[in-house]
Copies of this chain bind each other. A is one copy, B any other.
């Protein structure tokens, strides 16, 4: 029996490979497999291509549960238990328009999503040593990975060309996939439903510069320390464990990368318009090497900083469970884990928890603000890639070229003193020694140059990495808000509302609050890091000056 589907809404093809469908039109499906919200099939006019899965109702009843999850946004039976993956990963573009490398990247993402879905279902999977996986498919954020570790090469951009392409704002504005997948549309259309406990309520307040998330009244921080190698199965398996100490409990917990990974997946599915910070890359090989451990720890510190300072993320149950559940209490952990995976208030329902300010926003103004932000993120994304390439190239030059140049100067002064030492008359000796010392000083300065990037450029590079992650998230966030706005406009044309404007206002408030939070964090972080960079550079040049003064002093006796 051929797979059939019925269109629930009109859909107009916008890209090559897509086909248009009319409400109630019957479609023949090639497969029941939904890839990133798309189905492939033939419409009543005989055209074959892709259309949004959420716009159709599959007429066969033998679909497995997994598929129905991806489809339930349109079937009206709510988002309860919806474990569809996040709106914050790259929306899957239609493969036909993709380059081969991009297709490979998409495939990795699909793999990733499937693995998240699998891991949710069973507590038994928990004990599998994910860290030992030798594929990169488990990487929680493909867009972050691969390059960060390559040291100071010309291609040290934290995102490869392929990833850069998929991270620009423009590219992700597929009108449908994200808006629908995130639950934004379902919420807007009034299809989300759930009981919001008072404690779960999230307030957007009106600040000086527009809507803002209400500050966390109990702010806290969390340190990430002492990555230590742990073994199990009599040393057959080993993994790294990090010591976390949240300031509000002062109780230390041990967490592995896979715990972070699991938490990340929960956050991403729960919060449609919040930019969940990307985890530092997962690296399959060499992950016990000192450099990698140190780099990952720094990445986790940044990640933790962005988590604890986010008014919404910092307070959510799953994060609190992650931070506070005792590392030794297996039972409590599993309970919290199960609870998080069964959370109702994810996706579309998340919007139910948002309490907007009393006065609704002017949608025109929202649109313009979002447009400005979109331009901003596009420019920032482009420019920080350039900055990262430049400073890493600068680091490489200091480690190689600058070091070599100063050492050569040092060696040539030594040569001079070696020649002069052939004259051992008493009045010649102090000069010979002073020149030899000058040679050593320049060799030391060469070493200073080589060591310096670790102190000043690496932290900037780490900063840029966490922001590159955020910039990858925002196209989807903007997309959800734009989708909502478009829907409102459609409804207003048809003069039917029924709370759509109100719900669009909620989405807009959340989006602008998240944008505002992004800017505040950005100003805070870049200020602090630029200060740190300059302070490091100053003490570096002062150290050089000190060494040269020492050398100069040697000539007093000459």
Query: A residues engaging B (CB < 8 A)?
Result: 208-209, 372, 375-376, 379-380, 382-384, 386-387, 390-391, 393-394, 397, 401-402, 405, 408-409, 411-413, 415-416, 418-420, 422-423, 425-428, 431, 434-435, 438, 519-520, 522-523, 526-527, 530-531, 534-535, 537-538, 541-542, 544-545, 548-549, 551-552, 555, 558
Contact = CB atoms under 8 A, between A and B. Distances in A.
A419 B380 contact: yes
A350 to B, nearest CB: 26
B530 A435 contact: yes
Contact of A391 (B412, B420, B428, B531): B412
Nearest to A390: B412
Contact of A548 (B415, B428, B538): B538
Closest 6 CB pairs of A and B: A390-B412, A383-B419, A534-B552, A380-B419, A387-B412, A376-B422
Contacts of A555: 527, 530-531, 534
Contacts of A531: 552, 555
A534 B32 CA distance: 77
B418 A379 contact: yes
A557 B555 CA distance: 44
Given A390-B408, A531-B552, A435 B544 contact: no
Q: Which of A383, A384, A549 has the most CB of B within 10 A?
A: A383
Nearest to A457: B409
Contacts of A383: 415-416, 418-419
Copies in the complex: 2
Contact of A379 (B394, B405, B422, B425): B422
A523 B428 contact: yes
Contacts of A382: 419
Contacts of A542: 541, 545
Contacts of A412: 386-387, 390-391
A415 B209 CA distance: 25
B527 A537 contact: no
A331 to B, nearest CB: 47
Given A526-B431, A541-B544, A555-B530, A387 B402 contact: no
Nearest to A427: B523
A496 to B, nearest CB: 37
21 contacts: A376-B419, A379-B418, A379-B419, A379-B422, A383-B419, A390-B411, A393-B408, A416-B526, A420-B522, A420-B526, A427-B519, A428-B523, A431-B527, A434-B530, A435-B526, A438-B534, A527-B555, A531-B552, A534-B548, A538-B552, A541-B541
Contacts of A423: 372, 376, 519
Given A390-B408, A538-B552, A545-B542, A375 B422 contact: yes
Nearest to A438: B530
A551 B527 contact: no
A558 B391 contact: no
Given A391-B412, A394-B409, A531-B555, 14 more contacts: A209-B426, A380-B422, A383-B415, A383-B416, A383-B419, A384-B416, A386-B412, A387-B415, A390-B412, A397-B401, A397-B405, A401-B401, A427-B523, A428-B523
A375 B424 CA distance: 13
A449 to B, nearest CB: 11
A537 B541 CA distance: 11
A152 to B, nearest CB: 13
A428 B384 CA distance: 17
A401 B396 CA distance: 13
A390 B541 CA distance: 22
Contacts of A534: 438, 548-549, 551-552, 555
Contacts of A390: 408-409, 411-412
A542 B418 CA distance: 30
A402 B401 CA distance: 9
A435 B209 CA distance: 22
A372 B520 contact: no
Contact of A538 (B519, B537, B545): B545
A28 to B, nearest CB: 48
A448 to B, nearest CB: 11
A541 B530 contact: no
A405 B397 CA distance: 8
Nearest to A373: B423
Contacts of A375: 422
A537 B434 CA distance: 16
A49 to B, nearest CB: 38
A240 B412 CA distance: 36
A387 B438 CA distance: 13
Contacts of A519: 423, 425, 427-428
Contacts of A541: 541-542, 544-545, 548
A421 to B, nearest CB: 9
Contacts of A379: 418-419, 422
A409 B372 CA distance: 27
